[in-house]
Amino acid sequence: MTKTHKITVMPGDGIGPEVTAEAIKVIEATGLSFEYLECSVGGEEYLRSGTALPDEAIETVNDSEVVLFGAVGHESVPDYITREVLILLRMEKDTYANVRPLKKYHIGKTENEYASKDIDIVIVRDNAEGFSLTHEGRLENSIGTDQRIITNFGAKRIIRHAFKYAEENHRKKVTCVDQHNWLYSDKLFRKNFLEVSRNISSIESKGLPVDVVAMMISRSPEDFDVIVTPNLYGDILTGIVLSKIGGVGMAPTACIGNNFAYFEPVHGTAWDIAGKRTANPIASILSAGLMLRWLGEEKEAWYVKTAVKELLAEGKVLTPDLGGCSSTSDLGNAVARRVLEMETERRELEDQLIDLNEGTIYAQRESIHTYKRFDVIRS
Ligand code: ATP
């Protein structure tokens, strides 16, 4: 029997609902079974009900293993109010590993047209420590203060997460980015990096200061593989890489804890384009693909990633930020259609193989073998 995945959906504010709707369209096309629990949270919800995070939403999140998130924030609502939603998802649910795959998709070009310069960086950013959401700073008279905390426990677990990610995804190199020359919290981060990496010989490791990496990554982003870093540097480096991969509409995020994870686009509410049907849904669609992978649905996660790659290479359905004039839902529909075609294609091949099986047991064994091989090739 097919498993039904229960997913909490929090579209939130601004373009959050528009892009999340497209992500759901795409995962529906995989043919997997989902049950959605939709929660209204954020600035609009605050203006409606007086709270950005209603009790039902807290209960739903506490009963969930996975959340598909849009964005929260509203110009008429102070940030500290909408931040409650992020404090729940990040701090209370302890989703310490913020994994950001930043890949350059070739738009309107095939991969072969770009020989070597491929950008495929994964930033593993600490979501729990550094300038954390719960260590809020202060502004008193003419003095602004922020508190930055890094602990052995927090540093070690995010660094271990980065190496585990690198191992599981056949990555070759992990770079630790910090400012250990003069910040004490970063000295601790680097010390932990050296301790963890000392025991891992299969992956190259290196520590570099953030100012040097900012220069190197702007010049040759293709030289970087996995980066592990405290949260603020992770944000800044993400911004630099985004400028080289087609902008903020292209980057997905997985925020992973021990028994809970949430998935969101790197971009925020982008109110300036909300309701205009021009938002690029790719970041949200790719985030949903990361969610499928986290749920163990490897094949379907592969469909999503590959459908996006093929469509962008075709270059016919593109939102304005990518140089096209298609709408948010045109692009979402096109990705969903491609995912559906892939699944249909696979099923047809499976049926042909079952037909073949009507011969001898030997033939059946052969075709099962072929089918398995087919799956391996596709994933
Ligand atoms: P927030 O305050 O919630 O972070 P923001 O609007 O300040 O939101 P982003 O949402 O990251 O910041 O967006 C910055 C700008 O990038 C937006 O003003 C918008 O023009 C553009 N942008 C963001 N997301 C997209 C998208 N998915 N498609 C197209 N353009 C986008």
Task: Tell whether 173 and 272 lie within a shared domain.
Answer: no
User: Is 202 within the bounds of a domain?
Assistant: yes
What the block records as the tokens of 71 is 């964005």
- 46 with 168, same domain: the answer is no
pLDDT at 246 over 50: yes
Say how many Å lie between the CA of residue 65 and the centre of ligand 1: 28
Cβ atoms within 10 Å, residue 228 = 32
- Is the pLDDT at 202 greater than 60, yes or no? yes
> Ligand 1 pocket, 228 CB below 6 A?
no
Ligand 1 within 6 A of 332 CB?
Answer: no
Ligand 1 pocket residue status of 273, Cβ below 6 Å: yes
- When pLDDT is cut at 50, 70 and 90, the band that residue 353 belongs to is low
More confident residue, 67 or 111: 67
* Closest among 7, 2, 49, 42 to 24, alpha carbons compared: 7
Question: What integer is the mean pLDDT of 120-131?
Answer: 94
Whether residue 322 lies inside any domain: the answer is yes
Q: What is the spatial distance between Cα 329 and Cα 280, in angstroms, rounded to a whole number?
A: 9
Question: What is the structure's pLDDT at 110?
Answer: 60
Quick one: 44 and 28 in the same domain? yes
188 shares its domain with 261: no
Residues 205 and 257 placed together within one structural domain of the fold: no
41 and 129, same domain (yes or no): no
More confident residue, 343 or 305: 305
What is residue 177's three-state secondary structure? strand
**Ligand 1 atom closest to residue 13's alpha carbon, by position in its atom list:** 3
- Atom 10 of ligand 1: nearest residue by CA position: 268
Percentage, residues of the chain above pLDDT 90: 82
One domain, residues 49 and 123: no
| Centroid of ligand 1 to alpha carbon of 170 (angstroms) | 32
* Cβ of 270 below 6 Å from ligand 1: yes
Q: Would the pLDDT of 132 be above 80?
A: no
Q: Which of 210, 228, 245 is the last residue of a domain?
A: 245
In-domain check, residue 12:
yes
Higher pLDDT, 346 or 172: 172
What residue's CA is closest to ligand 1, atom 11? 267
State the pTM of this model.
0.90
| Cβ–Cβ under 8 Å, residues 239 and 100 | no
> Which residues does 5 contact at the CB level (< 8 Å), separation at least 6?
32, 33, 34, 35, 66, 295, 297
The reply to whether 274 falls in a domain is yes
**Identity at 281, one-letter amino acid code:** P
Residue 328: inside a domain, yes or no?
Answer: yes
**166 vs 358 pLDDT, higher one:** 166
Structurally, the chain folds into a number of domains equal to 2
What is the reported pLDDT for 2? 77
Domain final residue pick, 245, 280, 305? 245
71-84 pLDDT per residue, tens: 999 999 999 999 99
Q: What is the dihedral of CA 52, 93, 66, 260, to 10 degrees?
A: 180
State if residue 353 touches ligand 1 by the CB under 6 angstroms criterion: no
Domain that includes residue 151, residue range: 105-245
Q: Verify whether ligand 1 is closer than 6 Å to residue 254 (CB atom).
A: no
- Is residue 378's pLDDT more than 50? no
Pocket test for ligand 1, best of 77, 267, 326 (most atoms within 8 A of CB): 267
At residue 372, does pLDDT exceed 50? no
Query: Is the pLDDT score of 4 beyond 80?
Result: yes
Same domain, 30 and 162: no
Mean pLDDT for the stretch of residues 51-63: 96
DSSP 126-148: ESSSBS-TTS--EEETTEEE---
> Same domain, yes or no, for 173 and 186?
yes
β-pairing verdict for 252-256 and 261-265: antiparallel
Q: Which of 51-65, 273-287, 338-352 has the lowest mean pLDDT?
A: 338-352
**356: pLDDT strictly greater than 60:** no
Which amino acid residue places its CA nearest to atom 5 of ligand 1? 270
Together in a domain, 314 and 230 = no
269 CA from centroid of ligand 1 (Å): 6
Domain identity same for 78 and 196: no
- Local confidence band at 368 (pLDDT 50, 70, 90 cut-offs): very low
Tens of pLDDT, residue by residue over 266-299, are: 999 999 999 999 999 999 999 999 999 999 999 9
Judge whether 148 lies within some domain. yes
Binding site membership of 17 for ligand 1 (Cβ less than 6 Å): no
Task: Read off the pLDDT band of 363 (50, 70, 90).
Answer: very low
Whether 376 maps to a domain, the answer reads no
> Residue 223: which CATH number?
3.40.718.10
Instruction: Assess whether pLDDT exceeds 70 at residue 357.
Output: no
Query: Which residues 6+ apart lie within 8 Å of 255 measured at CB?
Result: 89, 90, 95, 97, 98, 99, 127, 261, 262, 263, 264
From the CA of 321, give the closest atom in ligand 1: 29
- The more confidently predicted of residues 40 and 140 is 40
Hey, whose CA ends up nearest to atom 9 of ligand 1? 268
Of 196, 222, 245, the one marking the end of a domain is 245
Q: Are residues 76 and 120 in the same domain?
A: no
132 in any annotated domain = yes
